[in-house]
Amino acid sequence: MESRGRFSSRIGVILASAGSAVGLGNIWRFPTEVGQNGGAAFILVYVGFVFFLALPVMLSEFVIGRSSKSNTVDAYRMLSPGTPWVITGFMGVLAGFLVLSFYSVVAGWTMHYAVSSLLCRLSAGHDFGAEFNAFISHPLLPLGYLAAFLLLSHLVVERGVQSGIERYSKWMMPLLFIIIFVLVACSLSMPGVADGLRFLLRPDFSKVTWPVVLSAIGQAFFSLSVGIGCMITYASYFGPRMRLVPSAIHVCIIDTLVAVTSGFIIFPAVFSVPGLSVDAGPGLVFITLPNVFNAAFSQIPPVGYVFSLLFYVLLLLAALTSSISMHEICTAFIHEKYGLSRRRAAWVVTLLCFVGGAACALSFGPLRGLTIHGMGIFALFDYLTAKFFMPLGGILITLFVGWKMPRMRVMDELTNGGTCSRLLAQLFFFLIRWVAPLGVCIIFVNGLR
């Protein structure tokens, strides 16, 4: 078997991990959840969860990954041989596969919208709702885009850790930040800026119920890519000098800033066009926003054109840097467990995800009638991962690090062999041991009822 890869630099680690975290979850899912769940109130709850619950899970994953230097299944085998903890690893691989399947479908839609923007098709004054529904229920078109997108992430993962994941993250992430910056400037110059900011900044706590709280934690875990072992896999490629605590904090800050900034891009734009609603659900960026771009286009054509093209390119880039991390969870597992070459393992994952993704894509068209518990396949995959596997994985991962691994070993990883602040490490150990598992458990049990 080829030797294990390793990230070559600290900036490579931060950009790759932030690349995994920043994705459709920030730019598509977060504004959707904010729009449906009370604006600023949801954001406040969300940010609390990011730092008190999801950050400790991320750190726990870093500890497991770096100390085992293995894929997410073998990590548990290595650190706790012969125990059922390995099931947590298998759950992670399964969840990685489920997320990548439905995620690639939305990424494929994004690709379609990027192409449409490029060809000026979003600016001709159409009925965007009807067009979106016709597109996603088409029996073939979404499958073509799904295949194209999966192939893109396949090509990156196949090249390995340094010349694939790290190399591409290093240029895609800065590009993504530049695009965000330009889009914020565009959006803040639109007439709905005051209403948009009011919606984002004024909390309505009457909307915060248990299911909303569960959505917020699901969103926090989804957005930071924690709870399914993605960060275990990435951390298994960290070098011994990589400082875990500051890196995890950096990734959380970058991810939260991008999520909130997406709100600054989307809501002022939506409030600028009379008659559009912020709680449009998943269609927000595919139905509501094209109306905004269209309105901008009819006033100043170059602005509308650049705004829409950049927006969908941004979504696509963000989706790609995240999808490679999910692909990597499964590829690393198959490569190391079954001894297949990385290339072959990547192909197995790509093909399996195409099958899973096709089932999700078709659940908007020919498979629409197929429902389980009232949910179509796409909604079921989304629900199972964000509201079930991720919180449950988060509980198990923090319990493993907080109670099962030897405390000395965990503290050694957190302080990086005594070179980082012991006080900070102790604080995080407390969060990992008590706050995160208890907090997530309470929300999980109440939210599911």
Binding site residues, ligand PFF, CB under 6 A: 20-21, 23-26, 96, 99, 222-223, 225, 228, 230, 322, 325-326
Question: In this complex, which beta carbon is closest to ligand PFF, that of residue 199 or of residue 222?
Answer: 222
DSSP bridge partners of 372: 375
According to DSSP H, which parts of 368-421 are helical? 377-383, 390-399, 407-414
* Beta carbon nearer to ligand PFF, 305 or 444: 444
List of residues 6+ apart from 188 with CB closer than 8 A: 264, 268
Helix (H) / strand (E) element for 335: namely: helix 301-338
| Smallest distance from ligand PFF to CB 329, Å | 6
Count other C-beta atoms under 10 Å from residue 9's C-beta.
13
**What's the closest the beta carbon of residue 107 comes to ligand PFF, in angstroms?**
9
* Closer residue to ligand PFF, CB minimum distance, 128 or 168: 168
Which residues, other chains included, contact 64 with Cβ-Cβ below 8 Å and sequence gap of 6+? 75, 76, 79, 232, 235, 397, 400, 401, 405
In the complex, minimum distance from the CB of residue 221 to ligand PFF, in angstroms, rounded to a whole number: 8
Q: Which lies closer to ligand PFF via its Cβ, residue 295 or residue 440?
A: 440
Q: Measured from the CB of residue 427, what is the shortest distance to ligand PFF in angstroms?
A: 25
Q: How far is the CB of 50 from ligand PFF (least distance, A)?
A: 12
Distance of CA 254 to the CA centre of its chain: 13
Nearer to ligand PFF, 230 or 346 (CB): 230
The per-residue b/e assignment along 275-302, b for 16 or more CB within 10 angstroms, e otherwise, is: ebebebebbbbbbbbbbbbbbbbeeeee
CB 32 within 8 A of CB 26: no
Q: Which residue is nearest to ligand PFF (CB)?
A: 25
What's the closest the beta carbon of residue 271 comes to ligand PFF, in angstroms?
Answer: 24
* Residues 40, 204 contacting (CB under 8 angstroms): yes
Nearer residue to ligand PFF within complex by CB, 24 or 309: 24
Give yes or no for a contact between 203 and 39, defined as CB atoms under 8 angstroms apart. yes
